[in-house]
Amino acid sequence: MSGIEMERRQVVVIGAGPSGAIASALLKRKGHDVLVIERQHFPRFSIGESLLSHCIDFIEEAGMLDAVQAAGFQLKNGAAFAWGEQYSAFDFGDTFSNGKPTTFQVQRADFDKLLADQAALQGVEIRYGETVISTDIERAKPLLHIEREDTSRYQVEADFILDASGYGRVLPRLLDLEAPSNFPLRQAVFTHVEDRIDYAGFDRNKILITTHPTQRDIWFWSIPFSNGRTSVGVVAAAGHFEGRSENLDTCLRSFVDETPSLQRVLANAVWDTPARTLGGYSANVKTLHGPGFALLGNAAEFLDPVFSSGVTIAMRSASMAAGVLHRQLQGEAVDWQSEFAEPLKRGVDTFRCYVEGWYAGTFQDVIYHPGSQPHIRSMISSILAGYAWDESNPFVSESRRRLRMLSDICATEPA
C-alpha cells in the first residue's frame, strides 16, 4: 500500500441519501469538517416515497425546509386504509403529539438529490461514484479504503465514521455486524403509473394502504405524486407469489385484479413503467455503534414498508447521532449506547409492535373498526405520523399492552 494517497478528515459519512444528507448538514452547521462518500450518482431511483410528518422536523433542523417546500412535491396530510368496502382515514393534523400536520409524498430520485444538494450548499463535500471497499477500525482512528470509478484508490483517516449507506449496509458487511431479522421473508413488487385517477373516494393528499380482500397479510400501497403519477406496490410473504407469473408486471396486475377497491382507484391507469421487485429487505445488526463508528437508518435496521417508517427512522438516527457526535468532538464524554442506540431502538420497537400487529391482523382490526374513540385515533395517528418516540403517548410507552387491549375490545364489539 506504499505510495497510496492518504487524507485526514474529521467525519466521514458513507452515503448521501436522506440520513447522510441530514447528518452531514447538521454536523457542518456545528462547524465540523465532513466528507460524504456516495457510491452512486444522483439522481438515482430509491423506494420509500411517502414521508411521515416527523421527517419535516429533521428537514427543518438541517436548514432544508424552505427548499423542500418550494420543490412542488405532493402534500400529504395523513394515511388512508381500505379493506373491501371499509375505509378509514387518519389526519396528521389531529395527533396526540401535536407534531407537524403535513408532510410530502416524493419521487425519491428528486427528493434525495435535493437534500444532498442542500447539504453541499451548506459546505458539505460530497464525492459521488466512489466506493468504500474496506475499513480498519482496529487503530486509534478508523481508516477507510476508497475506490474511485477509474479504479484508483486512496485512504481516509477520520475521527469518526457514520454509515448512512442504506440497503448497501457497508459497515455491517465489512465488519460482520449483520444479524438475522425476525420478520418473515416478504417481497415487494412495485411500479409507477400515470394514474388518471378520477375516483371520488381517493384522496391525493394521503397514502392509500389497501388490504387484500381475503389474504389480510397481503397489502398494497398507492402513493400519488404531484405530477399525475402514482407509485403502486404489493407486499406479500414469499409463498403468496408461488404459482404467479414470473413477469413482474403481470404478477403485480394479478394482485390488483383480485382487489376490487383498488381496481376502482386505478381503473384508468396507464401502466407504462416496468415493475421492479425487492425481497428480503428486513434487516438487523449486532450493534448500532462501535469504536469510531455508528450506523444510521437502513444501514442498521429496516423493518417493513407498511407504515413508511424507513426514512423517518433514518432521519431520526441522523439527528440523534449528529448531536452525540458533536458533543464527542467537542471533547465531552458520551455514551453511544445510552444516548443513541437505546433511545433510537425504543422508537423502532414501537414501529415494530404495530408492524407485527398489522400482519397478525390485530392492528388492522383497530384501524378498520368503525367505532374507535377520537382520542384513541389521535394517539394512533401520532404513530402513523412518525412520532414513535413520544413516550407521553400511551400507545408508544405501552405499545404492546395497549394494542392487545384495544384489539381485544374491537374483536368483541360489533362492527
Convert the pLDDT of each residue in 297-330 to its tens digit: 987 777 788 899 999 999 999 999 999 999 999 9
Residue 124 has pLDDT above 90, yes or no: yes
Does residue 36 carry a pLDDT above 70? yes
Q: What is the pLDDT of residues 366-394, one digit of tens each?
A: 999 988 889 999 999 999 999 999 999 99
Residue 93 in any domain: the answer is no
Range of the domain at 211: 186-279
Q: Is 8 exposed, middle or buried (0-12, 13-18, 19+ CB in 10 A)?
A: exposed
How do residues 91-106 score in pLDDT, each as one tens digit? 999 999 999 999 999 9
- Tell me whether residue 92 is in a domain: no
Q: Quote the pLDDT of residue 1.
A: 43
| pLDDT score for 412 | 73
pLDDT of 164 = 97
The yes-or-no verdict on residue 277 having pLDDT over 70 is yes
Q: Are residues 18 and 146 in the same domain?
A: yes
Instruction: Find, among 100, 19, 81, the residue nearest to 354 by Cα.
Output: 81
% of the chain residues with pLDDT over 90: 88
Whether 65 contacts 56, CB under 8 Å: yes
Both 240 and 268 in one domain: the answer is yes
| Co-location of 203 and 262 in the same domain | yes
Statement to judge: residues 150 and 62 lie in one domain: yes
Q: Looking at the structure, tell me whether residues 328 and 229 fall in a common domain.
A: no
Report pLDDT digits (tens) over 147-204.
Answer: 999 999 999 999 999 999 998 899 999 999 988 877 788 999 999 999 999 999 999 9
My answer on whether 24 and 66 are in the same domain is: yes
pLDDT greater than 80 at residue 225? yes
Residue 79 covered by a domain: no
Question: What pLDDT sits at residue 371?
Answer: 80
The last residue of a domain, from among 239, 263, 279? 279
Q: Provide the grid cell at 175.
A: 465488519
Together in a domain, 191 and 43: no
Q: What is the mean pLDDT of the chain?
A: 95
pTM score over 0.85:
yes
Our CA dihedral for 312, 186, 295, 21, rounded to 10 degrees, sits at -40
Q: Does 134 fall in a domain?
A: yes
Query: Domain check: are 302 and 271 in the same one?
Result: no
Residue 2's pLDDT band (boundaries 50, 70, 90)? low
Domain membership flag for residue 354: no
CATH code, 231: 3.30.9.100
CB neighbour list of residue 33: distance below 8 Å, 6 or more residues apart: 9, 10, 11
Domain count, the chain: 3
Residues 116 and 43 in one domain: yes
Q: Are 205 and 222 in contact (CB under 8 A)?
A: no
Q: Is 81 among the domain residues?
A: no
* Residue 87 is assigned to a structural domain of this protein: no
Structure confidence at residue 185 (pLDDT): 83
Do the beta carbons of residue 133 and residue 40 sit within 8 Å? no
Q: Are residues 12 and 127 in the same domain?
A: yes
Cross-strand pairs, 186: 237
Quick one: pLDDT band at residue 123, thresholds 50, 70, 90?
very high
> Which of 229, 244, 279 delimits the end of a domain?
279
Q: At which of 279, 301, 329 does a domain end?
A: 279
388 and 314 in a common domain: no
